[in-house]
């Protein structure tokens, strides 16, 4: 069987193929664009569509012929994209389209049973004391973070906003490791990460790297205590001072209807 050479009878049936395509889309079949050999006694004639909504698409009319007969049969008429066809972007499953922050209130995000970020916990006990100890070490759950899951988190956090290269960290007077508001994580990540517990810091309540930092560092500035307020002043301009610790006795001020401390009325 030689499929490189088109069957002569089918290859010459261009007008028949065009008429077939016109039945599907009257007035929207363009100039002849060639023939493709599909198999022995099977070819496909191509015609660009004139439909402006399908730029670059072609009508493909597949013709076949039975052996020992010249009768041509239409196998299929279909609109197919050409090399320069305008196509929709490839479909991507929702699980791959999902981005951090997409999860809303009430949404559920199922985690696959074989999620590489998690491994089964090989420890189970009914004893309360043992459960307490297990919880302290991060056990007591059906699955826990795998080595890959930890590595992902470390790389993501360290390279992102909680890391040492964030602009706020580069301008910080000192690192989180020496800050009084730094609460170290437990477990394998404790050497590199903690949580910021400073209500005035932009990272309050978030994971930060030990070499992250910000201007709210506990030792950044020593604030001096406020000086004592000065003694009150008495406006003596409109009164006669007779005596007393402030220059007059209570009730002895004459022409005193205007006597008021500064700032009062």
Q: For residue 155, what are the contacts with CB-CB under 8 A and spacing of at least 6?
A: none
207 belongs to the binding site for ligand SF4 (CB under 6 A): no
Q: Which is nearer to ligand SF4, 118 or 172 (CB)?
A: 172
Q: Is 210 in the site for ligand SF4 (CB under 6 A)?
A: no
Which run of H or E residues covers position 183?
strand 182-184
Q: SS3 for 147?
A: helix
Euclidean distance between the first and the last CA atom of the chain, given in angstroms as a whole number? 114
By the rule CB under 6 A, 203 interacts with ligand SF4: yes
Rounded CA-CA distance 49/29 in Å is: 5
Residues that bind ligand SF4 (rule: CB under 6 A) add up to a total of 14
**Can you tell me which of 35, 42, 61, 208 binds ligand SF4, judged by CB under 6 A?**
208
Judged by CB under 6 A, which of 10, 17, 214, 253 binds ligand SF4? 214
Determine the Cα–Cα distance for residues 256 and 265; give it in Å rounded to an integer: 14
Nearer of residues 61 and 208 to ligand SF4, judged by Cβ: 208
To ligand SF4, the closest distance from the beta carbon of 91 in angstroms equals 42
Residue ranges in 69-98 that form contacts with ligand SF4 under rule CB under 6 A:
none
CB-based contacts of 167, cutoff 8 Å, min separation 6: none
Q: Which stretch binds ligand SF4 (CB under 6 A): 1-9, 61-69, 134-142, 196-204?
A: 196-204
Q: What are residue 228's phi and psi, to 5 degrees?
A: -65, 145
Dist CA 239 CA 260 (whole Å): 10
Site for ligand SF4 in 122-181 (CB under 6 A): 176, 179, 181
CA angle, 162 then 181 then 167, to 5°:
30
Least distance in angstroms from the C-beta of 209 to ligand SF4:
9
Interacting residues toward ligand SF4 by CB under 6 A: 176, 179, 181-182, 196, 198, 201, 203, 208, 212-214, 216-217
């Amino acid at each position: 069987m030689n499929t490189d050479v088109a069957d002569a009878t089918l290859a010459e049936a261009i007008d028949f193929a065009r008429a077939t395509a016109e039945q599907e889309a009257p007035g929207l079949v363009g100039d002849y664009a060639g023939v493709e050999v599909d198999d022995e006694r099977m070819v496909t004639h191509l015609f660009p569509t004139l439909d402006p909504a399908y730029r670059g698409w072609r009508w493909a009319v597949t013709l076949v012929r039975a052996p020992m007969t010249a009768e041509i049969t239409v196998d299929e008429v279909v609109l197919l994209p050409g090399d320069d066809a305008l196509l929709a972007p490839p479909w991507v499953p929702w699980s791959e389209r999902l981005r951090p922050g997409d999860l809303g209130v009430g949404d559920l995000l199922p985690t696959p049973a074989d999620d590489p970020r998690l491994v089964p916990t090989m420890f189970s006990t009914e004893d309360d004391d043992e459960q307490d100890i297990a919880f302290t070490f991060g056990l007591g759950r059906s699955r826990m973070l795998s080595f890959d899951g930890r590595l992902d988190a470390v790389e993501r956090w360290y390279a992102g906003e909680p890391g040492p290269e964030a602009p706020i960290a580069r301008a910080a007077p000192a690192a989180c490791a020496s800050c009084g508001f730094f609460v170290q994580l437990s477990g394998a990540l404790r050497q590199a990460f903690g949580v910021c517990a400073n209500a005035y810091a932009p990272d309050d309540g978030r994971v930060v790297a030990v070499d992250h930092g910000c201007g709210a560092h506990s030792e950044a500035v020593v604030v001096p205590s406020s000086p004592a307020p000065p003694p009150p002043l008495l406006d003596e301009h409109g009164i006669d001072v007779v005596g007393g610790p402030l220059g007059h006795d209570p009730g002895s001020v004459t022409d005193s209807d205007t006597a008021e401390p500064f700032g009062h009325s």
